[in-house]
Structure 1
């Protein structure tokens, strides 16, 4: 493997000289994403491929992606405390705002998305807010009873989330969950959308009931079950979940903590392609887990849907990636 094949790509400039590096950083008015790489490191080649895909994404048209030969530019590497490759540094206005040590496709894509969104201004910002609100509406209405929490019912990641799941289970209430730790856009946006600053948040029929304290009061007064919807047609519910966003992956676990090898591999492929997607943890809802197999006539997981239509499982996703068709399929 030559140095150029490991470090460079058609959309990401490879920089080996200090003068050019200083000029790129000084001239950039938006986000600069710097991949410190080594020609001999296989993980750097993988990171380069991911960067190249993100550089082609219209959402990141104003982001400057560059690769730096960490060994050739030792002074720059020293300045940014680079001790291993790959390492990614995020700059804005010439100042470091974040970093990522090692290869983590999901976290890397999330950081690029997060920091590039912060720079959108004027009309674009308004459009972005409108798009997020539309997504939140669809998400809130994707299940009759939906709990936004930290973690999932099996592994809650805060005491309040643990308590509310225990209450709902004790009351015999069937509900779906969304892990707000997996999506910072939803986590921050829902606070403003619902005018409710904390989590967990419980929704019924698309309307906010409240947090843990409200749920406790409603249980004590006997009002909780009265406020919850009667069981709806399962197919209608599945359709709502499938259509909550353009690309939806039904998997075991979450992107940051997959609970089977097939789900882990699928997430890795989707992160490489760089097309945004949402996920549903089928382990958190047995009704969905069993019902979707019949609904889609597809007996295994993961299952990937694009614009409401089943694309397939891992084998089909692999085939599409190998043939170069996956990105086009995901974009509809």
Structure 2
């Protein structure tokens, strides 16, 4: 690759660009008003011409012109670099004008992707390679069916079912406010085939409660109609109640990426530095560890980005607000709830 590709279409087109099996994709989010983006752009153009990086594609996304792409990957500042592996898997991200870090990461991941693809190619030729023993598979299936009080094995995921039967099952369980884990059987053919024998049930989806098979869609429909299904399913806690409890769990509560000792984004790191100077005690919640909280809190707070700071259960704001309060010498009093 010798040129940077400008992304001019929407999210669907962007996905088609990054979901190529053989490539590492480096995506540069920029804005014309950001002075740091110009030098980074020039450096990336030079990096893209290196012969050793011929299997790396470089993409440019103007963040404010393509907000649906920026929001999908929580890009809240420029410059930001995202690194996608084969099939569009997000491998890493770097925020800020850190060209040395970007260059190092590109080379590191390019080697990693090349090794992965070579390994995948080699494995595809080992057709005679014996798989795990029946005992090992049964142990794994037992662990999976007991991974959550209720476990749904389906095609796709609850947010994106990939067959009509799975979609109907998800709609039914969600209507009952069921709390359940799931496993996408399209991602693991060993589980997909083995579970049929393990459960003596030939089709999907399959629902397990406390490790025991309940059945497929037809059985679930019958149980739903006579009220039996709701009685055996664990119920999901109301998300708003959970979020209210979390935001009130300390006088100063910070929702961030990572933790104070190891922030996982530049905004969270900067916030920790500012709060440390105030000497005000606070607690944190790592939103990367709980996607339900990560997505739900955006709607609950009407604030689309992280970190978020709450005082006595009320939202103060994100990093920009905290910076303004700090510069006006109002931060300490705000954090004390005064």
| Larger-Rg structure | 2
TM bin, normalised by shorter chain, reads 0.3 to 0.5
Give TM-score scaled by structure 1 length.
0.37
Give TM-score scaled by structure 2 length.
0.36
RCO higher in structure (CA 8 A, sep ≥6): 1
